[in-house]
Structure 1
Amino acid sequence: MSSEQHSDKEYLSRDQVQDRLLQILLYFDGYCKEHGLRYWIAAGTLLGAVRHKGFIPWDDDVDVMMPRSDFEKLMTSFNDPGNRFFLTDWNNSPISNPFPKLCDRQVFLESWGYEGVCDENLWVDIFPVDGAPDSFSEYQRWKKADRRLLYIAWAQTRKSQRLISKVAKKVVKPISKIFITYQKCMELINNRWKKIPFDESRFATCVGCDLNAKGYSYFPRECFNGSEQVEFCSHLLPAPKDYRKILEVTYGDYLSLPPEEERVDHGTKVWLA
């Protein structure tokens, strides 16, 4: 697939986007090794490694996850001497998801819902992994509470496409901002899950990782007892020890390809700075 020319921007092809994403991922891998931080590839990136030994052919993003303690060390100490990569989250961006992104200053991006709202750079999503309640029903109750906070945050920050959503947003946005900001919504979501320390829990969850997944993010803690190296684009990267269980819980029959109509990317537009 070749690059596409649109107005004054030459959008990258999917292959070119995947190559740029791999550069960010390998930088992150090296940084974590250098600083002794635990992490694993996650979600569609983990699925791609196991099923395709690289990117899912139609995918255009990268996901990683970290135990909360390692995640917080990253957030407080990250520094790129070359000034190419930087971390962003709800504290310095209107993109309201309960997890940060590692971004590349050399590549710009326009994502669904945020066109014209803010400048964006190509990113890798970084999900914190926390302990989860012993009761699955309690986990589901917490997730429903997360959803309510996310809807409030998205109403304040995202563009709406459908007419009914646009009308609802005009009502919800000004009222909700009186009582709670989107930044506070993200803090509440993270503070809820931090109550159960990852290393002391029986179950674990990947915060934000299941926003769009068909399954759920509720795993036996022992799935994360160590790492196993898996191949990704001819590189070996860490996956959770029982990554098969994690993929089964998240995607079901993860080795089978989805129907053709479900093989879609995230609709982002990417170009070089």
Structure 2
Amino acid sequence: MPDAIESDFKYLTLDELQYELLEMLLKFDTFCKEHELRYSLDSGTLLGAVRHKGFIPWDDDLDVNMPRPDYERLLSIQSELPEGMHIINAKNSRFAYGFSKLCTDAIRAQEPSYEGSVDEMLWIDIFPTDGLPSNDSEAEMVWKRVHNATRQNIWASVNHQPEHGIRKFIKVVGGTLFRLGKPQERMLSAISEAASNPGYENAERVGCFVGSGGKFWSLPKNAYEKTVTLEFEGHLLPCMGCWDEFLTKLYGDYMQLPPETQRQTHCLKAWRV
């Protein structure tokens, strides 16, 4: 898809970006209700619902998670998504991670790390929630295997030009070496193996092998599945029942605002096409 000529467009403001993301989320919510798909707000989006009743003021993305069976069913019926929406992941694009993005055809949104390799469209991140071994130490070891395979695939796939100094050198050299070992195949294989042992239906605890900002979390499945609704920008949306435990594991004292220097975005540029 050719980029727009700069004189023909302007970048969306953060408020405009959040408005478009919310519209996408509401369409996704309607689709999930129509198809009886379970999902929960996730990560910073869930934190925003709890702490701000909407977006974290400086946030420029949306995150949801789905039980693995619902996630796989969503992928199987993606042709029925609302017009102008599509899903990308590592199986159908050069996207480097082990989760999926629900995208709109109407808005380009480019991250520096994918510039030159993927023409990104504005997205919602969709993370699969998997069953975990009942022993948290064993579960964390599995998570680390998936996390390491994912990191190697990322290093081999993305553009490291935005990095600086020794960090850039290490990632460029590491990425070159990782490309020799079919990193995408190894990542997808590690995810598939982790997701099947013990499998979501057979597990008593659940977690996410491929998201949550590189942090391991484990929750009781019965608490995760007890969905509650929380307000998000004036709308009531589904959230895991154990949201307090989840947010505490990810963020600690999550009601405390971070220092201004840590209020980071994806640094993306977004414009209408």
TM-score (ref. length: structure 2): 0.90
Answering whether residue 48 of structure 2 is matched by residue 48 of structure 1, we say yes
Answering whether residue 203 of structure 2 is matched by residue 201 of structure 1, we say yes
Contact 1:204 1:221 in 2 (8 A): yes
SS across alignment from 1:138: helix
State the shift of 1:190 in Å. 3.8
Q: Which of the numbers 187, 190, 197 marks the counterpart of 1:188?
A: 190
Answering whether residue 86 of structure 2 is matched by residue 89 of structure 1, we say no
Q: Which runs of 5+ in 1 are unaligned?
A: none
Counterpart residue number, 2:19? 19
Question: How far apart, in 1, do the equivalents of 2:81 and 2:199 lie?
Answer: 32
Contact 1:45 1:56 in 2 (8 A): yes
Contact 1:18 1:60 in 2 (8 A): yes
State the shift of 1:200 in Å. 2.7
Answering whether residue 130 of structure 2 is matched by residue 124 of structure 1, we say no
Counterpart residue number, 1:263? 263
Between 182-191 and 227-236, report the one with greater CA deviation. 182-191
Between 249-258 and 116-125, report the one with greater CA deviation. 249-258
Size of the alignment, in residue pairs? 267
State the shift of 1:6 in Å. 6.1
Contact 1:99 1:207 in 2 (8 A): no
State the shift of 1:110 in Å. 0.7
Amino acid at match of 1:247: L
State the shift of 1:203 in Å. 1.4
Question: How far apart, in 1, do the equivalents of 2:83 and 2:140 lie?
Answer: 40
Percent of counterpart pairs with the same letter? 35
Contact 1:42 1:64 in 2 (8 A): yes
TM-score (ref. length: structure 1): 0.90
When residues 207 and 140 of structure 1 are mapped into structure 2, their CA distance, relative to the original with a 3 A threshold, is closer
Deviations 1:245-270 (A, max 9, x none): 21122211111211121112111111
Question: How far apart, in 1, do the equivalents of 2:56 and 2:82 lie?
Answer: 30
Contact 1:54 1:232 in 2 (8 A): yes
Counterpart residue number, 2:181? 179
